[in-house]
Amino acid sequence: MTQIVVGENEGIESALRRFKRQVSKAGIFQDMRKKRHFETPLEKEKRKAIAKHKQRRSRSDYK
């Protein structure tokens, strides 16, 4: 759970910016998108295969 304490002299814009940064670091939006709708087993396999392929490609770039 992400929580922000707004300082006494802090503007709402800067507090909102800090909140958005913490939410993106925690991966909450990605998790929310993932659980937005039901995913069939075939879709899940495809998504995992694509992620695995991307990970392999990024690892091979460093060698």
- Position 58 scores a pLDDT of 79
* 54 three-class SS: helix
Overall size of the chain counted in residues = 63
- Position 63 scores a pLDDT of 55
Give pTM, 2 decimals: 0.52
Count the Cβ atoms, other than its own, within 10 Å of residue 32: 10
CA distances from 17 to 20, 24, 60 (A): 5, 11, 35
pLDDT in tens, 9-39: 999 999 999 999 999 999 888 888 888 888 8
Q: Two tokens at 39? A: 């995913």
- Position 37 scores a pLDDT of 86
pLDDT in tens, 37-49: 888 999 999 999 9
* 20 three-class SS: helix
Q: From CA 20, how far away is CA 33, in angstroms rounded?
A: 16
